[in-house]
Chains A and B, each alone.
Chain A
Amino acid sequence: GNSVTQMEGPVTLSEEAFLTINCTYTATGYPSLFWYVQYPGEGLQLLLKATKADDKGSNKGFEATYRKETTSFHLEKGSVQVSDSAVYFCALSGAQKLVFGQGTRLTINP
């Protein structure tokens, strides 16, 4: 079945550091891939998505590229801010359901 594996957290960085959160997937067919973000005390919200191989999703300075050859969708940001502190979830679309990774908690220190 479909599955998503994220790098384990928590991840702690200093402000303006470079961020990478790894995500790999197992799927049949050609799923869409997503990153969702959960700020403290809130529900999840879509950060970015990619619908086919080699697509790059981007939003708020975050980027992720759909790599079919390595079955990956790593999240990157060149310079993180304290306001980026949140839990990040990688997900892929199945026929009727989304499959989520376990989440990675990111803390940015000033």
Chain B
Amino acid sequence: NAGVTQTPKFRILKIGQSMTLQCTQDMNHNYMYWYRQDPGMGLKLIYYSVGAGITDKGEVPNGYNVSRSTTEDFPLRLELAAPSQTSVYFCASRPGQGAGGANVLTFGAGSRLTVL
């Protein structure tokens, strides 16, 4: 039972480059989320999805894009990377409303991104 899998674990980008952080879950969860965690800080929500084909912005969506073509996958795209996007990124998922444990998030191990 893999849970939430994120790749890559580490990545260094140059300013202006683009990349995609991958997130896959095998729990058939409807809801998926992307957070960023800056050093010594809490979590900020970037984007979330309540099901395949549906995405919505969180607190800090600028500079990012997402898609949700399947229930399992929720990739996060960084366009034109900037030093301000240096952070640790966490993907998380949870079941839909009405399911057991509906509000409990399962997190991935994180992807550490450095933009130089």
Interface residues of A (CB under 8 A from B): 32, 34, 36, 42-46, 49, 89, 93, 96-98, 100-103, 105
Q: How many A-B Cβ pairs are below 8 Å?
A: 45
In the assembled complex, the Cα of A49 lies from the Cα of B94 at a distance in Å of 15
- Closest residue of B by beta carbon distance from A100: B43
Interface residues of B (CB under 8 A from A): 4, 31, 33, 40-43, 45, 48, 50, 56, 58, 90, 92, 103-105, 107-110
Task: Assess whether B90 is in contact with A97, with CB atoms less than 8 Å apart.
Answer: no
Say what secondary structure dominates the interface of chain A. Answer: strand
Task: Assess whether A93 is in contact with B107, with CB atoms less than 8 Å apart.
Answer: no
Task: Assess whether A45 is in contact with B31, with CB atoms less than 8 Å apart.
Answer: no
Task: Assess whether A44 is in contact with B107, with CB atoms less than 8 Å apart.
Answer: yes
Task: Assess whether A96 is in contact with B107, with CB atoms less than 8 Å apart.
Answer: no
- Nearest-neighbour CB distance to chain A for B105, whole angstroms, equals 6
